[in-house]
Chain A
Amino acid sequence: MSFLNYLISGISLGSIYAIIALGYTMVYGIAKMLNFAHGDVIMVGAYVCFFAAAKYNLPPAIGILAAVLVCTTLGIVIEKLAYKPLRQATSLAVLITAIGVSYFLQNAALLLWSSSPKVFPNFFAQQTVNEAGKKIKITGFQLFGGQLRISYVTLVTIAACLVIMAALLLFINHTKLGKAMRACSEDKGAAQLMGINVDATISLTFAIGSGLAAVAGVLLCSAYPTLVPTTGSMPGIKAFTAAVFGGIGSIPGALLGGLLLGVIEIMAKAYISTQMSDAVVFLVLIVVLLVKPAGLLGKKVREKV
């Protein structure tokens, strides 16, 4: 039974990685850049939601909406100011700019919201009163006589992850804007000749990616509620790993990569060693990439001479 519990923890952690990885993958697929500031957009989203919900006592839905709005705007602004002028530059130049933006967001957050950790409220807990008349919170439910526990956050995270992926796939495969995105990711020049507004499409990608980051931030901090200015950086790197794991640029790949990474991380801790779990995770990644050099679901690009 403990195996199932670990599996559920792994899937829960993996779903969060997956949502972050979706943002990475979308931006990579269309703009061909590694947006290292993505993790920090997550952190901003979490802070916005924290202040809306915990400070101003707004309902959670409004808090999440505010986070999505702020992050979407932030994503568009970052793209306009920092990445757009570098459209013609090398991908390394953009990478370094993204790192600069990441430092900027972290240090701005430190100045604005101080270094003291904030504890994120649990939106998915029920307030009840137990037999002794004491107020308690119910954070999940139990199966098999208490042996298997699933928290509401886990359920919401997994559901959110699936819904987001389905929506993204529908959007990309069945709408006009989605078609424009696919065209841009194949060949920007040709897309422009076909009358597609490439700049607007890239902006839209950033907007969607950053909106997803806000949702990921709220879910991340609901499950693991300590919020500091560096909250986003490590999950960001892990999610980037997950995106590559699944095949960067591929949306189902990001989901699969994220879930697998989460499960492997928890299983490595449970059955191998808590001390070496990160090493195990990265070792698995290396092995996978050696067997499938373009990731699990990545397209193998034929090199043309």
Chain B
Amino acid sequence: MKTTRKILSMLMALTMIVALAAIGGTAYADGAIKIGGTGPLTGGAAIYGNAVKNAAQIAVDEINAQGGLQFELRYEDDQHDAEKAVNAYNTLKDWGMQISLSSVTSKPAEATSVEAYTDRVFSITPSASSTATTEGKDNVYQMCFIDPAQGTMAAQTIAAKGFGSKIAVIWKNDDVYSSGIHETFVAEAAEQGLEIVSDTTFADGNNTDFSVQIADAQSKGADLVFLPMYYDAASLILTQADNVGYYPAWFGVDGMDGILSLEGFDTDLAEGVYLLTPFNAWATDERTAAFVAKYQELYNEVPNQFAADAYDCVYAFAQACEAAGVSADMSREEICEAMIAQFSTMSFDGLTGSGATWDVETGRVTKEPIVVIITDGIYVTVD
């Protein structure tokens, strides 16, 4: 027993030394502006983090290839956890990050944006959609719609277009994103005269079997099921509803984007699903087509809105940096002030909408959402 302890303590001491030695290393200057971001690159939410990282890299490479403005991108893993996100953020700070893509998911972004606010690092998050991410921070902006706005827009769209009148909602009750949308959706649905007949949830621990939720919606005669969740869970619901022969109208929000690129997914099941999304990978404009082709070539899948928003973030940086004459030798505080001045006035055309502007007070984006319906395995815009 004693020797065990001795070996252990020696090993411990060794690891400690290696660990301490490996941490650290401060900024060095070269010609590129350093962009950092944190996201879940491993663990259960890794699909979103990797989509953002990949797309941001494509944008950076494209901008660098044009000559002129140069960016350097570094992504650190936060495993969808606020504590690790702050660690990741600090690692990036040590690296010399000058502007930030904040965090990919909401709770980590809430934690890192507070740090970015104190450190005066200008941040724009591609996908962290909770209101608390930007609230009270003048240098934190969002590229995606906030959760409450998505809930409201979804209810309004359903009512205006008459997609359904008896509504069922299935949401994830240990998730900030899902519960945020659910809350305002229910409130707005009441305003719009939509009747919510079934309101059921799931959580991380029981995200496989949806038979009860589906049966509840079916037995109460819901003609539309609203799914404020990410596409992996949504694909399970569609499959299980098909098993019991339940075919209502389905309505998803931006997290549902990506469902068609699921490997092995029978896209027939998603036929007729409505989506409120800022991005349509099948749009025929030149920029979208080029981006989608590039992404497919490099990563072998169709990019989703996470990817598109990240791509836009980097281009928005580029636009603002060029307009403000930001260079790599400026401090992060100087860059921060210059970027705030730009973002509060500029209008940006990206893959996820043209003429996007930002609200100075809240850091929220204003752009037009589109409603698409999945037809023959692709998105078709609903007018």
Contacts and interface: CB of A to CB of B under 8 A. Distances in A.
A121 interface: yes
A9 interface: yes
Contacts of B349: none
A171 interface: no
Contact of B46 (A115, A139, A269): A115
A224 B238 CA distance: 11
Contact of A6 (B203, B212, B236, B261): B212
B202 interface: yes
B239 A225 contact: yes
Nearest to A142: B245
Interface string A246-273: 0000000000000000000110011000
A110 interface: yes
Given A118-B264, A274-B200, A139 B44 contact: no
A213 B219 CA distance: 36
Contacts of B235: 117, 119, 225-226
Given A225-B239, A226-B236, A278-B203, A116 B211 contact: no
Interface in A214-242: 220, 223-226, 228-230, 234-235, 238
B212 A270 contact: yes
Interface in A188-229: 220, 223-226, 228-229
Interface string B227-249: 00000110110011011110000
A120 interface: yes
A269 B212 contact: yes
- Bin the interface of chain B by size: 35 or more
Contact of B213 (A2, A228, A274): A274
A146 B47 CA distance: 38
Contacts of B200: 269, 274
Contacts of A57: none
Interface string A112-127: 0011111111000000
A73 interface: no
B232 A278 contact: no
Interface string B193-231: 000000011111111110111011001000000000000
Interface string B280-322: 0000000000000000000001000000000000000000000
B245 A2 contact: no
Nearest to B232: A117
B245 A149 contact: yes
Contacts of A107: 42
A151 interface: yes
Contact of A274 (B46, B201, B261): B201
Contact of B242 (A54, A121, A139): A139
Contacts of B46: 110, 115, 229
Contact of A269 (B43, B47, B206, B261): B206
Interface string A82-121: 0000000000000000000000000100100011111111
Contacts of B203: 275, 278
Given A110-B42, A117-B235, A119-B265, A149 B206 contact: no
A13 interface: yes
A139 B200 CA distance: 25
A175 interface: no
B277 interface: no
Contact of A116 (B47, B208, B245): B47
A117 B263 contact: yes
Contacts of B42: 107, 110, 115
A238 B50 CA distance: 29
A116 B209 contact: no
Nearest to B41: A115
Interface in A132-187: 137, 139-140, 142, 146, 149, 151
Contacts of A137: 266
B12 interface: no
Interface residues of A, number: 43
A50 interface: yes
B205 A278 contact: yes
A269 B263 CA distance: 30
A79 B334 CA distance: 58
Given A2-B219, A107-B42, A120 B264 contact: yes
A120 B203 CA distance: 21
B225 to A, nearest CB: 14
Most buried by A among B47, B206, B232: B206
Contact of B245 (A13, A50, A146, A234): A146
B262 interface: yes
Nearest to A107: B42
A137 B203 CA distance: 29
Contacts of B239: 119, 225
A234 B204 contact: yes
B263 A118 contact: yes
A56 to B, nearest CB: 13
A230 to B, nearest CB: 5
A278 B263 contact: no
A121 B262 CA distance: 12
A107 B205 CA distance: 20
Nearest to A120: B264
A121 B264 contact: yes
> Which 10 A-B pairs give the minimum distances between C-beta atoms?
A115-B46, A119-B264, A224-B208, A9-B211, A119-B265, A269-B212, A274-B200, A274-B201, A278-B205, A270-B212
Given A6-B212, A50-B264, A277-B206, 7 more contacts: A6-B211, A54-B264, A226-B208, A226-B233, A234-B206, A270-B212, A274-B212
Interface of B: 41-44, 46-47, 49-50, 173, 200-209, 211-213, 215-216, 219, 232-233, 235-236, 239-240, 242-245, 261-266, 301
12 contacts: A110-B42, A115-B46, A115-B47, A116-B47, A116-B262, A119-B235, A139-B243, A270-B212, A274-B213, A275-B201, A277-B206, A278-B205
